[in-house]
Structure 1
Amino acid sequence: MTFKAAAIQMCSGVDPAENAGTMARLVREAAAQGATYVQTPEMTGALQRDRAAMKAALRDEGSDLIVAAASKLAGELRIHLHVGSTAIGLADGKMANRGFLFGPDGKKITHYDKIHMFDVDLDNGESWRESAAYTPGATAKLVSLPFGKLGCAICYDVRFPELFRAQAAAGAEIMSVPAAFTRQTGEAHWEILLRARAIENGMFVIAAAQAGVHEDGRETFGHSMIIDPWGRVLASASGTGAGIVIADIDITQVAAARGKIPNLKNGRPFQLEEVPLSASGDVAA
């Protein structure tokens, strides 16, 4: 089966209403070009480093502006619309970095809360502590859709191959990786990680990204892309500004790739033995 997929690239600001308008414009453009699955980036609703301002604008899922707009768009355009993520208020006062998938009837199919928190200290003083504001998810999501089985990941999740392998082993044919990669980490690792996850699991990877210098001062890498199960980049965007990348997804390529290199079947259990140094400093036999 073949379908047309689109990854929406954005440069989200701090105002959810403005971001919702940008999302709607780009999703409509993608649908007009024939896309029936459209994915937006991580933090579609807002990128806001001021936590007080972020919490002031926070809403629960039932009253969130992005959620409502996406549901309406999906139903109107008769597409599967995947909001990569947006910040959702939780009862404990923290937030979820939550993605939403809507069907062509406008109804929510599922949501996914980002599991792995971006708690890192990079060069040049760049430091992030996502866990200080967000509650990590605990459940991976694999969704059976008319065009294939879709697995869910968000941004930093891409550095944890076990998440992708578990979903591939359960039948995932496509992985969604919406993101807001920093420029520093994106330049070093973005494409390499995405292509590796596609190759080692024989699956399509669709990655909608944030791109450019944002209103809150951060800079994200962009380069939204769609990758096939052989690791080939089918479509990609630039590193700045909003845009759309679209590719035809032939789901039969998943079985073809896994048939050539059946590593999902060929994996074997093993034990890890640590060999200590001998008294002389040589490795013991």
Structure 2
Amino acid sequence: MSSKRALVTLPSSASIDDILECLERDGGCIVKNMLKQETIDGLWADLSDVLDVAPNGDGSFVGRKTRRISGLFSRSLHMQELITQPQLYGAAEKLLCKPFKYWLDGVQHISIPALQMSLTQAIQIMPGEGAQPLHRDDIAHHRRHPGPDSQIQVLYALSEYTEANGATRVIPGSHKWDDDRAPTYEESVPAEMNVGDGLIYLGSTYHSGGKNTTVDKPRTAIATTLVLGYLRQEENQYIAVPRERVREFPERVQRLLGWSTNPPFCGWIEMRDPNYLVATDAALNTTAEDIL
């Protein structure tokens, strides 16, 4: 009898606390129907032509029969619904945005870190693709384990998402492992989902793309990541998303794309919150009071 722990699948009505309970125990969970059908249809309309001509990868990590396109906020306005999805954003905010205390001029202050976008990618695993190496996403920031988490990811299923066609493999509980313990494929379980479902998982959880053993069923997902605002974005959103496109999003999304400071004062321009530069190229001199 297998001793492997399966991932929990939560209903679409799951609360933030339900999700956090799974993240704490297992490092990830599936949430049903995270995306509306109109959002799914809009994403396919915006991305399918690009995916159809995207080249395959050139290594086992990116996949030799896997198509990837990035910079998705520059390609689809529907991406704002993916990153502000209430269950994803709420879980990330509650788990990651812990108060930080510091002293300044004899007064103790408290800052709450911001969240920002780190990565966007549409990933299409084609028939015949092998398994991706198991990995942790937070290696981009040289995180040490076990330790405080710095990012939360979601993989939204845009297609059938089964073990046969390459559903993401996850090792439940691996977010608690130290850095000397190696993951094995045999410890992983498939995150099988329906279209519109989402796999939410921690940056410290081992996972990988699965094998696609089908003849004609690609597996398509969109990956998005929320990371603490004082860390560098894995995908450089300032280059990936032109300012003209950034202006088309509401201010909340502009700030998630990085056009913001992280309290108390990380990411400023001319000692000022950079959000004003979405609408202008003029960098105005001001004082530190504007960002404290």
Q: TM-score, normalised by structure 1?
A: 0.29
Greater share of strand:
1
Greater share of helix:
1
Greater length-normalized contact order (CA 8 Å, ≥ 6 residues apart):
2
Q: TM-score, normalised by structure 2?
A: 0.28
